[in-house]
Amino acid sequence: MPSVGLLERLISFPTVSARSNLELIDFARDFLTRCGARAMIVPNDKGDKANLFASLGPEGPGGVLLSGHSDVVPVEGQAWSADPFKAVQRDGRIYGRGAADMKGFLACALRAVELASKADLTEPLHIAISHDEEIGCVGVRTLIERLKLSDFRPRLAIVGEPTSMRIATGHKGKTALSATCHGHAAHSALAPTGVNAIHLATDLIARLRARQDEIARTGNHDAGFAVPYTTIHVGRIAGGTALNIVPDHCSLDWEIRYLGTDDPAALLAAIERDADEIARRSRNVADEAGIRIEPLNDYPGLATGWDEAATVFLRELVSQDTPCKVDFGTEAGLFQRELGIPAVVCGPGSMDQGHKPDEFITLEQLHACDAFMDRLVARLCTPV
C-alpha cells in the first residue's frame, strides 16, 4: 500500500493524547500481521491506550528499529481550513493533524514492512508505535520495560520525528515540575496580615527568569541547537478565588530543557534554595508559608556520536556530511539510556509545520522517506 494512502488512513484516527489510540493500533497491528510480522501489544493500565511492537525477519539481535508515536496534539482553538482528521492533498502537500508530527513517518515505516515482507531479510526490521509521547514520552516506557526482558538489541533505533530527513544525533533532556505555593488567607482590606500565595509564585518566577538570564550569559552553549543553552520555562499558573481574598494557594507548572553538558539536578537544587529563601521571608507572618517543588515527568537528552558504527551505518543510506541536533524532545534518549541502543532522530517533514493549524507534509518529503526505507530494506538483505 502506498505511503500516501497509509498516511490518509492514519490521519483519520483522532489520536489526540487525551483520547484512545486503540483504533489506530488495531489498524497497524492488522496491517503488520498480514505482512507476516510478529506483533505484540503493550496496553496501559487503564486499557484505553497501547503501544505496538512488531518484528519481521530473523529473530535475535541486530537489525534496525523504526520508532514513532501515534498521538497528536489537540486542534481545539486552532483555525483549520478543513477537517483536521480528514487528509486533504493539495499543491504537493498532504494536510491533516499529525501529517508532519509524525504520522508521515509511520506511514513510510508501515510501507517499509510491507516491502520487507517480500524480501529475504538477513537482519530483522522492527517497528514500535507508542502512545502519549506528546505529554512527555510517557507511553513508550512500558514498552521499553517489556523489551528489557528480551534479547532485543538492534544495531540502531531511528525515531522518525520530522527532521526533513536529516540525521539528528542530539536533543535536549527535559525535567517537568510543579511548584505549589502555600500562603495565608486574609481579607484584602487587611492584606499585610496574610501571605499572598500568588506573590510567592511571582517571586519564584522572577528567580527562575534570573537563573535563565544567567545561564544564557555564562552557562554552557552548544551551537548545534537553535537555542544553544539550557532553558527554564513557566507554562502554567493558577491561583486565587476572589479579588477581595488574599490567596493562600497558587501553583506553577514549569520545565527545564537542558544540554547534555549541564546537570539538571544541580540546577534544581539551586532553584529549591531560591524557593526556600522566598518562603522564609513570609514565615514571620504565617508559619505555613512555603513553596513545594515536585517532579512531574522527565526524559533524558540524546547524544550519539557521528562516527559511531550505528550512525555510520545510517549515513550510508542518507547523504549527509554533518550531523544536526533538534530542540524538541523525543523517545530516542530513552532507547539509548534504558536499552543501550544507539539512537538517532530522522524523519520526513518539518517541525515548523507541527502543532499548527493546517499542519502538512510535502509529497516530496514522503517520497524521500520512502526512498530511504527502500535502501534500508535492501541493506537488511545484505549478508552480515
CA 83 to chain centre: 25
* Average pLDDT over every residue of 190-195: 96
Is the pLDDT at 61 greater than 90, yes or no?
no
Please report which confidence band the pLDDT of residue 60 belongs to, taking 50, 70 and 90 as the band edges: confident
Say whether pLDDT at 383 is over 80: no
Q: Mean per-residue pLDDT for 12-18? A: 97
Whether residue 299 is predicted with pLDDT greater than 70 in this model: the reply is: yes
Question: What pLDDT sits at residue 261?
Answer: 85
Strand 38-43 and strand 50-56: the pairing is antiparallel
Task: Kindly report the pTM of this predicted structure.
Answer: 0.90
Average pLDDT over residues 104-116: 98
**Average pLDDT of the residues in 347-368:** 97
Mean pLDDT of 329-343: 95
Are 153 and 344 a contacting pair, CB within 8 Å? no
DSSP-derived secondary structure letter, 166: P
Find out if CATH 3.30.70.360 is the number for domain 173-299: yes
What is the SS3 assignment for 122?
A: coil
* Catalytic residue ranges: 71, 133
Specify the residue for cell string 509529497: 363
Q: Nearest 5°: phi and psi at 237? A: -140, 140
Topology at the third CATH level for domain 3-170+302-380 = Aminopeptidase (3.40.630)
pLDDT at 384 over 70: no
Domain coordinates in residue numbering, the chain: 3-170+302-380, 173-299
List pLDDT tens digits, range 208-266: 999 999 999 999 999 999 999 999 999 999 999 999 999 999 999 999 999 988 999 99
- Compute the average pLDDT of residues 299-313: 93
| Number of Cβ within a 10 Å radius of residue 147 | 22
Q: How far apart are CA 349 and CA 367, in angstroms?
A: 11
- 330 pLDDT band, cuts 50/70/90, is very high
pLDDT at 331 over 90: yes
Which pLDDT belongs to residue 151?
A: 85
Rounded to an integer, the average pLDDT of 117-145 is: 96
The Cα 140–Cα 159 span in angstroms is 12
Give whole-number Cα distances, 325 to 152, 166, 232, 265, 276, in Å: 27, 9, 19, 23, 36
Mean pLDDT of the residues in the chain:
96
C-alpha cell at 266: 544541580
DSSP bridge partners of 51: 42
pLDDT range class, residue 353, cuts 50, 70, 90: very high
258: Cβ contacts below 8 Å, ≥ 6 apart = 172, 173, 174, 175, 230, 264, 267, 301
User: What percent of the chain shows pLDDT beyond 70?
Assistant: 100
Residue with cell 556530511: 321
The x, y and z cell numbers of residue 244, run together, are 477581595
Average pLDDT over residues 194-213: 98
